[in-house]
Amino acid sequence: MGWIFEGIERSEDERRYSDRELVQRSIKRLAPYRRPIIISSATTIFLTLISLLNPLIFGYLIQTLDVSNLTGVSFTVIFFAGMCYLLLSVLSWIGDYTINVQVAKVVPFFMVTLRGDIFDALQKQDMKFFDQHRSGRLNSRVSSDAADYGGAVSIVLVVIGQLLIIIAVFFVLALINLQLALITASVVPALILISFLFRKIARSTSMSFRKAHASVNAAIAESVNGIQVSKAFGVEEESLDDFKEINQKHFQAGFKRSISMMLFFPFVELLSASATVLILLVGGELALSGTSIITAAYLFIFISYLNNFFFPVTQLISFYTQIQAGFAAFERILQVIDTEPSVQDLGNVEKETITGKIDFQHVDFAYVPESPVLTDFSLTINPGEKLAIVGHTGAGKTSIIALLTRFYEFQKGKILVDGTHIRDYQLKSYRNHLGVVLQTPFLFNGTILENITYGRKNASEEDLKQALQISRVEEILEYLKDGLNTSVGEGGSLLSTGQRQLISFARALLADPKILILDEATSSVDAYTESMIQESLEELMKGRTSIVIAHRLSTVKNADRIIVIDHGKIIEEGTHDALLSLDGEYATLYNTYFKHQEVDWTPNGPSIPKEAEMAYNP
């Protein structure tokens, strides 16, 4: 299965980001949400003050209820302290609610913007990018990676409050007893050191987990897309075994990440507990000494505040590991957003109409540098000409179309349309003049009408009707209860291959292009369906520059000119009859691929036109 070769994706080419850059990029993304962040931070300060008051209330009660000094103590003091605690609890609830509301205002909109940016970046990429990245892995960037990073952002909003609490609590501890406060603070550098040492482990295990998770997504997507092939070859069990292997790797990566985090927190808890015991020992001895350095009540207050100090410190450290996981996800997201497509939309030429003259001038092209496809390729196609391109598989036929449509970028030479370099055209404007029907038809989930009007949603009823007639889609509709409103399913799965191809053909027709490109567009329809649309095709091609990669004899024979491609070079060109008379590569292709499509062809009899047959036997 294809996913076995997941290692072919060259992770070493991926850009790496420092923590500093990730933080700066995160702050920039959070800038539009300053107001809710400020409100949340202000509310956090308010909650911090409240949290500082609670231990004071109980410390005051302990001091007041000292058995050696109960004279004059009334129930009113106890009741007042209880009401104060209740009031602070209510205010704390209101504060927490306010913070949650403000965070709710930030994170969802932040996620909407983030996913929109990822999707936009994917839309701008050229086909080379998608050749190097599998769809399942890209889906994980939009879904799970974005969710992990969004979770890290929500944590960052809480971090601000935790920092404020730590600072405020330490200030109060210092007021109670500076010596004990310094002992408490001495633990913090050790905690920071452990966090720093753990940083690389957290980032590494999180990145490995994200990649393993993406592999699972890719495997599932590939399995669903190829389910028909799996069933046809009866390899469902083998496919399951392959998936189990990937799923096991996902489990191992998740296990390593969880274990690394679980091993980290006992160190933090141990240091916190050690500090508390040390404070208790030192503070208890000071309280028992009878001096006025610290009393039992203030020692209680101090120890109560220790939880308010160490809990946010521990939480910050736990947040740090989660933020590292979020940064690992953000790094993968940025690898998509920051990838510059090789096909740049830098042109500013826009033309409402074109004649459709095309000039390839000494073009070099390769998908990978070490394997050139086209070398010093030159070709002129006149306005309104019907050009057929034939050649063996891998000869470079589809590459010519891929360059003309700017799906890929060529390395040398020029391609001119109406005398203007295609790189000088504004990309959207340029492609509006092109109509493309690919060999493998693809329909978007929706109705037939939505798919046909995909490139021209404001088409008139008359234009739509004409496109339906020429493409013969109207004949399909007669057998569908909902007609144009029939759902096609995901990828057009509810329709036959031939029906999908006719619909994609109608989609190109409705766009009314000046340059029509048919990449083996009739290879997916049967001979009967093709014979029905052939006459309409001829009518459609009138007045348009048409480029056809054809496996059908009828299309080749009716072309104004045929070029034969071999290893990225034109080795023959001319009309059908002229090329047959040469008895060269085209004649070989004819006898191999096209000959049996002749109306009068018989297995044992000649089907080559008489004049061509004479050319073979002079």
| Distance from C-alpha of 207 to C-alpha of 149, rounded to nearest angstrom | 12
| Distance from C-alpha of 356 to C-alpha of 542, rounded to nearest angstrom | 12
**pLDDT by residue (tens digit) across 218-265?**
777 667 666 655 655 566 677 777 778 888 887 888 787 777 766 666
Is 177 within the bounds of a domain? yes
Is 480 within the bounds of a domain? no
Residues with Cβ < 8 Å from 234, sequence gap 6 or more? none
> Among residues 571, 611, 615, 569, which one has the least CA distance to residue 589?
571
**Terminal C-alpha separation, the chain:** 53
**pLDDT by residue (tens digit) across 80-110?**
777 887 888 888 888 888 888 887 778 778 8
**pLDDT by residue (tens digit) across 373-407?**
999 999 999 999 999 998 888 888 889 998 999 98
**What is the band of 612 on the pLDDT scale with cuts at 50, 70, 90?**
very low
Is 31 within the bounds of a domain? yes
**What is the band of 587 on the pLDDT scale with cuts at 50, 70, 90?**
confident
Range of the domain at 165: 17-337
Phi and psi at residue 412, to the nearest 5°? -140, 160
Mean pLDDT of all residues belonging to the chain: 78
Q: In whole angstroms, what separates CA 115 from the centre of its chain? A: 8
Report long-range pairs for 93-102 (Cβ below 8 Å, ≥24 apart).
95/43, 95/44, 95/46, 95/47, 95/50, 96/47, 98/39, 98/40, 98/43, 99/40, 99/43, 99/44, 99/47, 99/161, 102/36, 102/37, 102/39, 102/40, 102/43, 102/157
Is 447 within the bounds of a domain? no
Note the helical H segments in 387-543.
Answer: 397-404, 427-431, 448-452, 461-471, 473-477, 497-510, 527-541
- 104-118, 187-201, 401-415: the lowest-pLDDT one: 187-201
Q: Is the model's pLDDT at 604 over the cut of 70?
A: no
**What is the band of 596 on the pLDDT scale with cuts at 50, 70, 90?**
low
| Distance from C-alpha of 582 to C-alpha of 589, rounded to nearest angstrom | 12
- pTM of the predicted protein model: 0.67
Q: Is the model's pLDDT at 165 over the cut of 80?
A: no
Q: How many domains does the chain have?
A: 1
Residue bearing tokens 């940083």: 199
| Distance from C-alpha of 355 to C-alpha of 515, rounded to nearest angstrom | 9
Residues with Cβ < 8 Å from 533, sequence gap 6 or more? 470, 471, 472, 502, 505, 522, 525
**Does residue 365 contact residue 374 with C-beta atoms inside 8 Å?**
yes
Work out the number of other CB atoms within 10 angstroms of the CB of residue 536. Answer: 15
Is 222 within the bounds of a domain? yes
**pLDDT by residue (tens digit) across 46-90?**
887 777 777 677 666 666 665 445 555 566 767 777 788 788 888
Q: Domain containing 284 — which CATH number?
A: 1.20.1560.10
* CA distance readout (Å), 426 to 40, 340, 350, 429: 45, 17, 6, 5
Interval 550-562 mean pLDDT: 78
Is 280 within the bounds of a domain? yes
SS3 519: strand
Residue 526's pLDDT is 66
Q: Which helix (H) or strand (E) holds 167?
A: helix 146-176
Is 600 within the bounds of a domain? no
Residue 273's pLDDT is 79
Is 106 within the bounds of a domain? yes
Tokens read off for 311: 């809990």
**pLDDT by residue (tens digit) across 408-433?**
999 999 999 999 999 999 988 898 89
